[in-house]
Each structure stands twice: as C-alpha cells, then as structure tokens.
Amino acid sequence: MTDRAAFAAETRGFQAEVKQLLHLMIHSLYSNREIFLRELVSNASDACDKLRFEALDKADLFENDSALKIRIGFDKGSRTITISDNGIGMNRDEAVAHLGTIAKSGTKEFFSRLSGDKQKDANLIGQFGVGFYSAFIVADKVTVLSRRAGEPAEAGVKWECSMAGDEAGEYTVEPYAKALRGTDIILQLREGEDDLLSGWKLRSIIRKYSDHIVQPILMQKEEWDQEKAENVLQDEEETINQANALWTRAKNDISDDDYKAFYKHVSHDFEDPIAWSHAKVEGRHEYTQLLYIPKRAPFDLWDRNPRHGLKLYVRRVFIMDDAEKLLPHYLRFVRGVVDSADLPLNVSREILQESKDVDTIRGGCAKKVLNLLEDLAENRQEDYAGFWREFGRVLKEGLGEDHANKDKIAGLLRFASTHTDTADESVSLKDYIGRMKEGQEKIYYVTAESFNAAKNSPHLEVFRKKGIEVLLLSDRIDEWAVGYLTEFDGKQIVSVAKGDLDLGKLEDEAEKKKVEEQAEEFKPLLEKIKTSLGERVKEVRVTHRLTDSPACLVVDEQDMGANLARLLKAAGQDVPTSAPILEINPEHPVVSRLKSEEAKFDDWAAVLFDQALLAEGGTLDDPATFIKRMNQLMLDMRQ
Ligand code: ADP
Ligand code: MG
C-alpha cells in the first residue's frame, strides 16, 4: 500500500434531481419498501454481468476468481443489512458519477411532470425506475464500499450518505483500501425497520423478487438455538435463488409470478406487464426471445432518444442493454431479452448495425410482438383497449416503418367513428368492414384537428343520412399514417373530403340523375360564384354530400388534404398550396336565395366560401371582413 491516498476525501452535493427523487421516494414508495432489495440485488447482478462481459478479452479482471456471486447479510447488533457482489465495482469517479447524479435522458422533463399527488407520483417514479436510491426507503445511512476490478486495493472508494429525517443534501467520498473487488452496500436501517433484520424475512423478499437472478445469491445458514430461543447464524452459506437464466428454463417450470418478477428486473418498471411471449426460435439462426408489453408508457417514450431495445445475451453471457437494433423503432416500448446462439461474443453496436443475423432476429421479434398484440386484441379486449390508449400512437408509426407487417399493423389499429360517436378509439377496420352497407365498397374516413371537428364535419352529412360509417381521425399522426394506409382486406380506404364523391352502388339511379339535372340547372350560378371568388377556388360545383350545410370545401384527388397542409404549415414547412374546390348544396335555402341576388352577390359568395373554410377547421385570412359582411347580411334580412 502506498502512503499517499489515491484522492482527497471530500463532501459533495447531490444533483438537484437526486434530492427531489430521494424525498419523493421515501414519501410515496413506503408501502412498497421491499423493493429496495430487488433494486440493490439487480444492481449487483448487473455489475457481475458487466465484469463477465469485460473479462471476455481481459481475463485478468477476474483476479483468479471467476465465480460471480451476490451475498446478503444482516447484523442485529449494528442494525445493518449488507449486500455484496464481486462484480465490476466502481472507482471514485464512477461512484461520484453514478451515485450522485441521474444520467438518464429526459430526467428534467420527468421531474417537471410530478404532481405532488402521492399515488400518481408513485406510478410515475415506477416508470422512471427507482434504482439505487430506493435504499433510502428503509435506511437513513447508506455506505458503499467499492473497488473496480483490475485496479489496486487502494483505488477503492467509500461513498456515504446520511439522511436526517428525509432530507439529504450531501454525501462523502474518501479512499478506502478494499482487497476484494466489487461492491458492498451497507444499509443502516431507519428506526422501526427492524423486522428486516431476519433471515426468514430477507429470504422471502428475495424469493419473491429476485429468484431469477442469474448469479447465486448467498446467505448464511441459520439454526434454531434452543437455549437462546432464536435462530443463530452458521458459518456455512446456502444459495437461496434458482440462479439460472429464467429464459433458458422450460416454460412449464416458470410461473406467471416468475415472469412478472423478471420483467421488473429487465424493465425497471414498477407494475406488472400486460402480456409476454417466450419462445425459442430454431432454424438458420437460433435464439431465445422473451418479450414483454408494459402496462404503461415509459416516461421517455416521446423523447428524442428514448430507451429502446432489448437486453442482448450471447449464449447466456450478457452483452448489452438497450440493443436498439433488435426491434424496429415503433416497437420501442417492448422490453425483454434476446439470447443468441450464433452471434460472436465480441459483438458490438457497430457490428449489430451491419449484421444480417440481427435483421433476422429483429424481423422475428417484430412478428412475435404483433402476434402477441393480435392475441390480446382478440382475447382480452379490455386490456387491448388499455394498450391502445398508451401505445396506439406509437404503433401507427409502424405503417410507415415496417412495410412487411403493414397489414398486421393495420389490423391492430383502432379508430373513433360515426358509429360509436365517442372519442374513444375502439373500432377496428375489421369491425368496420363487418358493418359495411350493402353495396358499399370503400372504407371512409375524415381527418380534422380535433374529435369534435371531425365528428361535425359537413363532409359527413350524406354519410349520416345514408347510415354509412365514417372513421373519425383527429390525431396529428393520423394524417401521416393514412398516407400509408390505402387499402385493407381488398377495400380501398378513402377520405370523404377528397375528390368527387363517388358512392358507387350506394346511390340509386334516381339520385344520380337528379344530381346531373341540378348541375345543369345551377350552371350559370356556379360560373357566377367562380368569377366572384376568382383564384380562391379551383372550381365550383354542386354536390349531394351535404344535407344541412350550404357549402363545403374539398380537394382534388391528387392534392394534399387541407388538414395535412395546415399541420405542415404550423410545423414551419413550405407546402405547395392549391386552391380547394367549393361544393354547394343545391337544396339549401341560402343557395336558392343566392340565385336571385344581384347587388350583394360578391358578399354572399365570399361568406359562403368563408363559412365552408371555417366548418372544416380552417382559419380565415381576413376574419374582420367576414364579420362585417355577416353583420351586414343579417341587417339586410330585417328589411
Ligand atoms: P440503473 O441500475 O438503472 O443504472 P441505479 O440507480 O440502480 O440505476 O444505479 C445507478 C448506477 O450505479 C448503475 O448504473 C451503476 O453504474 C452503479 N452501481 C450501482 N450499484 C452498483 C454495484 N453494485 N456495482 C457497480 N456499480 C453499481
Ligand atoms: Mg439499478
């Protein structure tokens, strides 16, 4: 040992978010206090995995001891619980970086979403992942002794933090010579937590949450001492978990609770998953997949860099977390494990990028997830509705991203519709087709900026009259998604606001004839309106799509929909503007009135156009003039 310390002892302040997290955790997670052990064991296990991975090409790191294990002990006298591992360990800088700050992306946004409501915040924190700091739920002082594998004993560090009540602002780091590599975490229990100082209690918590941990978890054996009338610790140790990789076990040997506990380990989630799929895939590439659908969206789902992907193992050796190549982006909410039998152990993220084997695995995983969702949609509709609320918008991204599975994804979509008239998205394309009217050949939808705007769109009038269902799309992503969704099950999917309304067999001959006659009859009026509105419209024509409104706007088949154009403009994009087509309702009294108007014709025509624009969610170029005209016309009517 050198006589000079490797670094100076110091007291440091926590990052503000850590303080907030500590405070919240103690208050809102107390009823789940047992999770502290799950989190610390999970970290110990991760540390062992990391060492095994680094030692693949640096066997020295094992320091002649490659039997990785986790130990849990307790001492009634000092009222402490100690969790030890001989994993990768930490040096001073790592302890400061990992135990003094939260490095997750999106942390700031996450904290800004906390409400102060215990129950809600507890759920949110669950999604965020509580980790190391959960130790403070049961301990008021936490001491971490650690030494990184491959570094000398003197490079060890002692990290310590005491809490007075539930406030902690600072921690200390100082040199600590540690002969054995790895980490000891010593918890000084809070008052009232003494029931945890029991071998029986600790064993039961470990079996409940950590049975699946790959490394053996050891505890000292205990024997009943008649004289002392209590259990006495023995020198001998025993393994108290199954200590094999859960996904390698036979399915019938794994209980639902085992699967759920393992999910919490891989996902850091707090709640049970909604569904999972476990399969061994044989063939050209052999791999095992264990995939989970979470119940709730993770806090970073819409982040620029969301946590994404699966844990990758190669022949049971942990390789990396968040292997994003193993799943398409739109399935970024899925958690789980892939264990490949064929990839090389030294596989890196770069190699994964290029690997054809990985493409096969990704394809296989995507199919599995979609099958799982299909099964959920079919057999557990309520759970599927919950899934859709949380992840529907993400799934829609798949229409553009995953061409091979487009039909499967389309089948999983859910929509609001005129048939249900609620904003709930519950109608599938299959439901829709099942209730199509006789003679109906197409699937109809309308897009708008809000559910109410969609529901009350004048374009729906004739559909309502004929009882034809229309899907109501009001999510921003819908505009983009329907661009990829042109067909389902042989049926064309079309907008009710685009092109000539062709209801095909839904119209009888008499109706068609009437429209033709009206077109003839109104020709002079149409031309007059066109002349009056000039460049603002591409064409003016009569329509039979309206029953209650005097006019509406439509765009040509090949032109961009008005709602999409508005969205793109709002996003700052240059969009080619093409004038809309004004369609008028020949049966409407306002239109009849227009026929005989002379002096104020231009005002009437302008109001007709402007109200059609407003009705479909557009904004007026010159609202003041519109209002002036309206008022004038109202006054005129009194005369
Ligand atoms: P997470 O496990 O999600 O990364 P934690 O709060 O549980 O978050 O842990 C924070 C970090 O502290 C870990 O990522 C790891 O770098 C470090 N750490 C915690 N416990 C250990 C340990 N037993 N051995 C080595 N490093 C650890
Ligand atoms: Mg952790």
User: Token digits for 259?
Assistant: 């699967």
- Report the CATH architecture of 415-503: 3-Layer(aba) Sandwich (3.40)
Are 165 and 1 in contact by the 8 Å Cβ rule? The answer is no
Residues 6+ apart with CB under 8 A from 141: 160, 161, 162, 163, 187, 188
How far apart CA 85 and CA 265 sit, in angstroms, is 17
For residue 468, the Cα-to-chain-centroid distance in whole angstroms is 34
Establish whether 226 is an annotated binding residue: no
The pLDDT value given to residue 165: 67
Return all residues near 2 (Cβ < 8 A) that are at least 6 apart: 154
Q: Is 241 in the pocket of ligand 1 (CB under 6 A)?
A: no
Q: Is 352 exposed, middle or buried (0-12, 13-18, 19+ CB in 10 A)?
A: buried
- Name the superfamily (CATH) of residues 10-242: Histidine kinase-like ATPase, C-terminal domain (3.30.565.10)
Each domain of the chain, given as residue ranges in start order, spans 10-242, 247-379, 415-503, 508-638
CA distance 502 to 252: 56
Give distance in angstroms: CA of 327 to centre of ligand 1: 25
Residue whose CA lies nearest to ligand 1 atom number 8: 131
From the CA of 103, the nearest ligand is 1
State which residues of the chain have pLDDT below 70. 1-5, 123, 126-127, 165-166, 638-639
Residue with tokens 């519709």: 417
Task: State how far the Cα of 612 lies from the Cα of 617, in Å rounded to an integer.
Answer: 9
CATH number of 508-638: 1.20.120.790
Q: Which ligand is nearest to the CA of 42?
A: 2
pLDDT (0 to 100) of residue 212: 85
Nearest CA-CA partner of 604 in 585, 586, 626, 621: 626
User: In this predicted structure, what is the pLDDT of residue 303?
Assistant: 73
What are 417-460's pLDDT values in tens digits? 999 878 899 999 999 999 999 889 999 999 988 899 899 999 99
38 is in an annotated binding site: no
Ligand 1 atom closest to residue 94's alpha carbon, by position in its atom list: 16
Q: Is 210 in the pocket of ligand 1 (CB under 6 A)?
A: no
Q: In what order do the strands lie in the sheet with 581-584?
A: 539-542, 581-584, 551-554
User: Which among 21, 573, 18, 109 is positioned nearest to 302, based on CA atoms?
Assistant: 109
Q: How far is the CA of 619 from the centre of ligand 2 (A)?
A: 51
Nearest residue (by CA) to ligand 1, atom 23, is 44
Any atom of ligand 1 within 6 Å of the Cβ of 333: no
104: annotated binding-site residue?
yes
Q: What is the pTM of this model?
A: 0.80
Is the distance from the beta carbon of residue 617 to the nearest atom of ligand 1 less than 6 Å? Answer: no
pLDDT digits (tens, 9 = 90+) for 312-362: 999 888 888 888 999 999 999 999 999 999 898 878 888 888 888 899 999
Q: Is 87 in the pocket of ligand 1 (CB under 6 A)?
A: yes
Question: Does the CB atom of residue 183 touch ligand 1 within 6 A?
Answer: yes
Ligand 2 centroid to Cα of residue 143, in Å, is 16
Cβ proximity of 345 and 315 under 8 Å: yes
Q: Ligand 1 centroid vs 95 CA: distance in angstroms?
A: 9
Residue 351 CA to ligand 2 center (angstroms) comes to: 27
Inter-residue contact 426 to 420 (CB < 8 Å): yes
Q: Is the CB of 85 under 6 A from ligand 1?
A: yes
Radius of gyration over every alpha carbon of the chain, rounded to an integer in angstroms: 33
> Is 128 one of the annotated binding-site residues?
yes
Dist CA 256 CA 266 (whole Å): 15
Structural fold of domain 247-379:
Ribosomal Protein S5; domain 2 (3.30.230)
Rounded to whole angstroms, the Cα distance separating 366 from 282 reads: 16
* Dist CA 246 CA 262 (whole Å): 8
- With the most atoms of ligand 1 within 8 angstroms of its CB, the residue from 18, 43, 69, 147 to mutate is 43
Question: Which pLDDT value is given to residue 1?
Answer: 47
Closest C-alpha to ligand 1, atom 9: 132
Q: Is 106 annotated as a binding residue?
A: yes
